[in-house]
Structure 1
Amino acid sequence: MLGKTAGGLYWMFRSLERAENTARLIEAGFRIALTRSTNAEAEWRSVIVTSAAQASYEAGHDVYDSAQVVDFLLRELSNPSSVVSVIKAARDNARLVRTALTTEVWSAVNETWMLFTDLLKEPIPQTELPAVLATIRQQSALVRGALYGTMLRNDIYDFCRLGTYVERMDNTARIIDVKYYSLLPSPSFVGSRLDNVQWETILRSVSAHRSFRWAVEDDFTAPAIAEFLILDRRMPRSLSHCANQIVGCLSHLAEEYGGREASHELADALDTRLRNRDINSIFEEGLHEFVGSVLEKTADIAGQIERDYRFIG
């Protein structure tokens, strides 16, 4: 496969996953803001910091108002990671690789772009925000369903899935970080009822509230929820599950192309680090520090994938 085609597939699904996870990040901030009566500006600022968009946001905005933050993350074309921007990027990449996609996948991406172009023409009132965020998540699931149901399990499929899981791992780590590092008001709140409510809110923001109840016998405590989101491979948005899926996709590519690349070694190392951990050792290391290292290693893997498979040139 041409590197340009592989890159188009990879970035199409990274963009689609980013749209969904931006919606989830907004929801995390929105729900946590509802549990706190003071310092809302700091909470919305933490959402922008976690989305890695602080510099571009502050270039055009003076305050961290909820309406401005939501509009920036959903609608502003000046923000390359806004939902409107990334859905356009996904559709552009889909057009680039149109001959590699089934009709169902192309139609799902194109319809998603048309829907969001209309849905996000105007600022979203706060009362309508939950429904809009749900629509974004649903459309992402629709495209994934078309991919699962109609595409051959070959290198095309593996590059699509790589894009999904690299982006998902990055975003799950950021959502965990927005909770524990940015939003927890004081160390004195650790283990408190407020702390546990906020952790429960994070579970809901990654659609993991019910699965946590099914899979974990513990109450909604910080260690139990952190373990579920970081180490439980049954949870499809956990860091460990994403790392395992990245390794699997790269292994399929190694079989397809007859050799391993440097990105395979980086992915194996990260997967091993997550496989051989328990949550107590992570808390001892420092949750923020641990999540930060995962973000760095995920970025390293993503960059190496682009070089190994020659996405550019």
Structure 2
Amino acid sequence: MDNGLITFIIVTWNNEKQIEKCLDTLEQFTTVPHKIIIVDNVSTDETCNIVIKKYPLVQLIKSNENLGFAKGNNIALKKVQTPYVCFINPDVILTEDITLPAINILEQDKNIGLVTNKLCNVDGSDQLTTGRFTDLVSILVNVCHLYHFIPNPFRKTLCPEYYKIENGVFSPDWVIGAEMFMRTSDAKIVGGFSTDYYMYMEDMDICWKVWHQLNKKILYNADVSMIHLGGASEKQNQSYSKQEKIIINTFIFCEKYYGKKKADRFHKFIMTLYRIRRLLIYPFKVINKGNSLLEHDKNILNILKSLNYNND
């Protein structure tokens, strides 16, 4: 097949320290005919020069502006002609063939619309890869850290991000966007990633569209893994800025798919939980070195208060 079987799409932004390992291991472990498209978001380091000099077969699209994750992927998606596509981060390092198992799953089960594999840290420990769509349950479990007390079998549905699975597969609501395999036709039907967000929540959004527009499932395959250096680009953002983006985008997602009234209820609920947390934490602030947790909750409450909700 002249066009290959799958196209890998990588969006870069100042990834000179990661891109070689990513591309080298893609070539080393991918056993099917493939293409690679990189969309660069105005890197100021050597990312583009490295790709041009060392990887002449990679199609490099240099943007004149920082398009963000969603727009960058969507520009490349329009050019994909292979039957399958994989959206993959530049800070992923392969240790085995992740592609053939994913394609086999998609070929064998037409009810599956998106496949991802296990993400690991450099030391081999598992990363949080799966999640539950934002709702009252997920808010309660995460804000109150109830996942510590939930038996592992129940985490599968209540808080899949903390569900421990050594091998096998299961269908969570959504998965982290560091690596996603789809049929190209499906990816184009849902319009790729939503541009309603600028960093964070694009992955949850596309998984929602797979479930509700395509009426297909998300599949997490723990039998195949890779290293995800994790947040190589994110680390260039301040932590408060990251918190702000995540919270704002969470409510964009809620209003988009649940409506303003339900998003308002979520906002009121999460504000109440954080206020209770602060009351419980405050007496122990002397013990809490640096008051980091208090500062974190203060930041969260300030961000929540800045949103356009009148439920106080």
| Shorter-chain TM band | under 0.3
TM-score, normalised to structure 1's length?
0.27
Between structures 1 and 2, the one with greater helix share: 1
Higher strand share: 2
TM-score (norm 2): 0.27
Q: Which has the higher contact order (CA 8 A, sep 6+)?
A: 1
Larger Rg: 2
